[in-house]
Structure 1
């Protein structure tokens, strides 16, 4: 067997630790690994590609430990992750505005942009490929390789990675970054099937079936996620007849809630979401300080205004979608009816592709609110007794977490599964009971979510295809028990669901690398476990179905970024005054000096520890400015606008 350059072959783990520091990360369904003698970055065993999380983790580790000899292992043949060359198709657009979907220090070329400002899949793929080449990650990459199993070396002194593909069969390393991301492991349900010749594919395979799909006339699409909306649009725009199957409300989480691409054709919807005002009014567990929080969440007047604001947003979205135009479109109204945007029960998206709703309303699409029973005699048999003829089936059934490379025992150790030992189950149950009291106190709006816990819990498990819920990781990155014991050998970035993927990935990479290199000290185990329990309780109350399955933060990415930056000693105020800070959209370019700021923070900490006087951090200003003017603006504009929209006279 050929030896990895980081593997001495001597079995001397102490020597290995001194000679090599390895990172490993799972991208999509792969994993990325790196070491001082040979870093390895690889996506795990499903159809994944090296994307946002893997690339920035590799670069950030190299920035802080430049002596590392990084090797990137990837099962695929191209960079991009979910934006890999074989996963994109002509009508696939990111649901986020140009300028917001990039790393802070690496601007995206202005190409492939819609009139509303949304970015094509081709543009994103080129961006990530260019990034890999410009930062010399491409020459470190081994494609067509996968990691099949991850185990701990004796005495917990490192990791053994079983590798299939080009090169070595075994890699031993001291540290592992397991960043397979949120869209790594496709969920493919099983149904009875006989005498059924039509192809059945997962939505991630659409890009490799374009030729075959062009030749068919009728396609069945299953699922209510954003990928289903994208797939249905692609098929309708190509003139296909579509049967769209979404489970009924009583047994599923329903269709995703969709924002319009712009508000009244003036302001891009993602610019609105990318303001800290949205984090303040959106009931984030990470934004529970300051006058804005106290007004909107701790006073009855503030909560009333918050409810009116979200009803206004929901009204704008529903009028744009036109759910009430036909009984068919009505079946796509998100849960809970009347406030689906705020709760984002099945998730939140944006109608980023041009003319989405126009194409849907004009296209030959039948929405079936039922489930699939079987595939028999070349027909799709539905639970309600309907039989549908089809030439193709596309499963938009989402993704599970790619933890399959770890044994069940390690999954329990790492907080990756709900299948706990009795003692741990009781301990976490008590922690979550205390956390529920804290969440209800801090965010009374979430005290009684509108959907029954039984419905969303059943739906969440069925959709996920496993018993995996949100992981028990401090800051969504590290295992509390291991970190408390001084174990800095593993982090888990990329498992948080957020529309600001590049920026969240960048800050997670800096936090995770700082932890691995001993440049960041987390609190004690009790405090870390309190934070974990509070997050998971909050997530399932804030986003009833999605929050049970994932670390979901669709409206909360800025408050999450701020939390990590505070841990790193980096100033979170990126605007010049309080109004700009609250109401202007935050772009990645606002964070373009993070690495330098982190190094300055490290120097300030060293000086502080040595007892030397410190000057205030450059540009740091108080974030506690008065909210009197913002509240007046809200009252003067939002309330009359809500009344006007409800009147239907415009």
Structure 2
């Protein structure tokens, strides 16, 4: 590797590949490299992480980049969910086609990113043995040091939110004599459980789609399963069929979230970025409108439950989500299995247990907080992903300016954010009173049973991408917005990041309504003296935009992930509108004006083709 780069991209998954491709499209002369910890391309879809039976929630045509459709060589049919192996092969083909693979340094981990005068210094670690190639076989084998440093002018963290799994931190796990498998190791370890006839009963802990996947796979391989869902937690996610009926209309569930008409039923803190502020004002600002909105969400939630038939059996009833669908965000799974996963529950092969685990005991016992126990031969934990950065950013004094989760904020930095948050909360509740009535969870009950972590601050990024108070535009975080249409988001956010880093954005732009005039002086924004790291003339707008964006997530999806990072379901298309508007590009892309936007169906890849050339043409016209 070189010692100095123009751009370093960390991560070679969905986001990282799109970012490398778009940056090189915009400037082919960039000295750019990609750092990837895995052996192969794909992130969560890397070859070593894909297990037999793994499939995406997306149908053919919905999980691909706009400029690179899946062709017939993948052997898929229309209306078929994309198998995990095909997604990995697709990323391999994408990287080869656009000559990205030679730029990727595999099995290399970024441990430290330290701010320097002209960019960033990165401490890298070789995660395979020394004197072996760490590039996945794409270059000649050369000796590689265990730890070394490189520097770059621009740093892009594209690892996303699903790169490091939560550790299994259950008291007494050293006493448990059966296999214990973390979901991140499922591809490597699951076959050992399938093939071991001595393992007859498997316990799966978790409540999200990945937990359902593990339950289905274990049951399909003939194991009896204890499906443990934490009683004090969020409960199960909503699970829906691939196709859902809304009244007489048969809709692709995935496509509902990208249909502009349905996005109107979600309140949006960034105002009229989609150009339909008047519709939203009626739906969320009037008594009649709010009644219509409530009926929509009641209907959607009840249809998901009715059409999965889980309310018709005493055991599957335990899998009904505990709150209305409105509060869940993207925490929605699609039933993409060959057979009905709920049949295993109805037959008794899968036993649903709503309890809090206290500890593991000898030899193969799971003990609950109420003193009851279950016996099991193996334990599979799907406890989610670590949402804090896996990279240590130095110095820690800049964590607040960067907007990264941190437990090292100073009292002054906390006070600044507290004041911004208080002001944002007032605006949010004034505009959307419904958000004051959202469900709340007792976080004390969610602490790990053995070693509670100190809770870090949430992600606070401008537009979900950029540090809100950095003095230089040399760092962005891409893929840290949870939403449907990941490939399209990856492409648009990459163009946005390029424009931001090379001072080509139209902004900073105000994307929110003006603060309420009823706010008193104690809740006004801090002065520039209180934020010495902020750029003059931009800090108030960007910092407040960031606080408003973050706090909106906290109140909008309390049963999703919005308190920690952006969690956008029916807000996904308006979020893309926001980024496109910053770039000076049109966000209405259906044709026929507002009529086409409302009646033109869901947005898909074809609607966003040619964005790079469109933006470059826009830049040329602006330069004239």
Q: Give 2:69's match in structure 1, choosing from 79, 86, 107.
A: 107
Tell me, what secondary structure is at the counterpart of 1:177? Answer: strand
Distance 1:460 1:137, change over 3 A: farther
Residues 1:448 and 2:437 are matched in the alignment: yes
> Residue 302 of structure 2 corresponds to which residue in structure 1?
315
Contact 1:253 1:346 in 2 (8 A): no
Q: Give 2:217's match in structure 1, choosing from 213, 217, 234.
A: 234
CA RMSD of aligned residues (A): 2.3
Residues 1:269 and 2:286 are matched in the alignment: no
Residues 1:537 and 2:551 are matched in the alignment: yes
Q: Counterparts of 1:63 and 1:106 in 2: how far apart (Å)?
A: 14
How much does 1:519 deviate? 1.8
> Residue 580 of structure 1 corresponds to which residue in structure 2?
596
How much does 1:458 deviate? 4.5
Structure 2 unaligned segments of length 5 or more: list them: 128-133, 135-143, 509-537
Contact 1:285 1:538 in 2 (8 A): yes
Tell me, what secondary structure is at the counterpart of 2:113? Answer: strand
Tell me, what secondary structure is at the counterpart of 1:476? Answer: coil
How much does 1:266 deviate? 3.2
Alignment of 1:24-103 (within 5 A): 24-25=9-10, 27=11, 50-103=12-65
> Residue 569 of structure 1 corresponds to which residue in structure 2?
584
Contact 1:92 1:353 in 2 (8 A): no
Contact 2:9 2:20 in 1 (8 A): no
Q: Give 2:181's match in structure 1, choosing from 178, 182, 201.
A: 201
After superposition, what is the alpha-carbon deviation per residue over 1:463-496, rounded to whole angstroms, capped at 9, x for unaligned?
Answer: 99652353111011111211xx3x0111111111
> Residue 367 of structure 1 corresponds to which residue in structure 2?
352
Residues 1:143 and 2:143 are matched in the alignment: no
Q: Give 2:562's match in structure 1, choosing from 547, 553, 559.
A: 547
Q: Counterparts of 1:317 and 1:513 in 2: how far apart (Å)?
A: 40
Distance 1:591 1:447, change over 3 A: same
Tell me, what secondary structure is at the counterpart of 2:584? Answer: coil
How much does 1:117 deviate? 3.5
Contact 1:185 1:402 in 2 (8 A): no
> Residue 589 of structure 1 corresponds to which residue in structure 2?
606
- After TM superposition, the score normalised by the length of structure 2 is 0.84
How much does 1:363 deviate? 5.5
Q: Counterparts of 2:375 and 2:383 in 1: how far apart (Å)?
A: 20
Residues 1:172 and 2:151 are matched in the alignment: yes
Q: Counterparts of 1:196 and 1:460 in 2: how far apart (Å)?
A: 22
Q: Counterparts of 1:342 and 1:151 in 2: how far apart (Å)?
A: 41
How much does 1:433 deviate? 1.4
How much does 1:592 deviate? 0.3
> Residue 630 of structure 1 corresponds to which residue in structure 2?
none
- After TM superposition, the score normalised by the length of structure 1 is 0.81
Tell me, what secondary structure is at the counterpart of 1:509? Answer: helix
Q: Give 2:2's match in structure 1, choosing from 5, 8, 26.
A: 5
How much does 1:113 deviate? 5.1
Contact 1:112 1:122 in 2 (8 A): no
Q: Counterparts of 1:457 and 1:156 in 2: how far apart (Å)?
A: 41
Q: Give 1:424's match in structure 2, choosing from 400, 413, 416.
A: 413
> Residue 266 of structure 2 corresponds to which residue in structure 1?
282
> Residue 336 of structure 2 corresponds to which residue in structure 1?
352
Structure 1 unaligned segments of length 5 or more: list them: 8-19, 28-49, 608-650
Higher helix share: 1
Contact 2:182 2:382 in 1 (8 A): yes
Distance 1:240 1:548, change over 3 A: same
Give the aligned length. 557
Alignment of 1:476-491 (within 5 A): 476-482=464-470, 485=471, 487-491=472-476
Q: Counterparts of 2:468 and 2:175 in 1: how far apart (Å)?
A: 51
Q: Counterparts of 1:595 and 1:75 in 2: how far apart (Å)?
A: 29
Q: Counterparts of 1:604 and 1:196 in 2: how far apart (Å)?
A: 67
Contact 1:226 1:256 in 2 (8 A): yes
Residues 1:160 and 2:139 are matched in the alignment: no
Tell me, what secondary structure is at the counterpart of 2:269? Answer: coil
> Residue 22 of structure 1 corresponds to which residue in structure 2?
7
Q: Counterparts of 2:466 and 2:278 in 1: how far apart (Å)?
A: 31
